[in-house]
Amino acid sequence: MIQLRLAPASQTLAELEPGRTFDFVFIDADKEGYDGYYEQVLPRVVRGGLIVFDNMLSHGRVVDPQNDRDRALDALNRKLARDSRVESVLLPIADGLNFCRKK
């Protein structure tokens, strides 16, 4: 079942009922909050489940980040590449998609 919830993402995640799990999560919110959303949602993702982040290349600016938004995306891309809890693939299509499969 798909449910659309429109509210601040960290609030929505904090208000989810205990035990709620997900097979698939798509994250496209304020970029500085991506890492926090990842940490909130990862425990709820089933083994083999997928988390997809949108806009992870920030129009190529993550190569030389000049603002907080781009630095946050660069840091998260690096974190996901090293995170032993997931397998991560950054696809350079459109504005960049990062696919993370939970181990």
> pLDDT by residue for the chain (103 residues), tens digit each?
777 878 888 998 899 999 999 999 999 989 999 999 999 999 999 999 999 999 999 877 777 888 898 999 999 999 999 999 999 999 998 899 999 999 9
Sheet holding 97-102, edge to edge: 22-27, 45-54, 97-102, 86-91
DSSP letters, 16-54, are SPTT--EEEEEE-S-GGGHHHHHHHHGGGEEEEEEEEEE
- What integer pLDDT is reported at residue 2 of this predicted model? 78
- What integer pLDDT is reported at residue 8 of this predicted model? 87
Q: What is the DSSP letter of 6?
A: -
> What stretch of H or E contains 87?
strand 86-91
- What integer pLDDT is reported at residue 50 of this predicted model? 98
- What integer pLDDT is reported at residue 78 of this predicted model? 95
Domain boundaries, given as residue ranges, for the chain: 22-102
Cα dist from 3 to 12, 59, 64, 75, 97, whole Å = 12, 30, 37, 30, 22
- What integer pLDDT is reported at residue 5 of this predicted model? 77
- What integer pLDDT is reported at residue 56 of this predicted model? 93
- Its pTM surpasses 0.95: no
22-102: which CATH number, 3.30.479.30, 3.20.20.210, 1.10.10.10, 3.40.50.150?
3.40.50.150
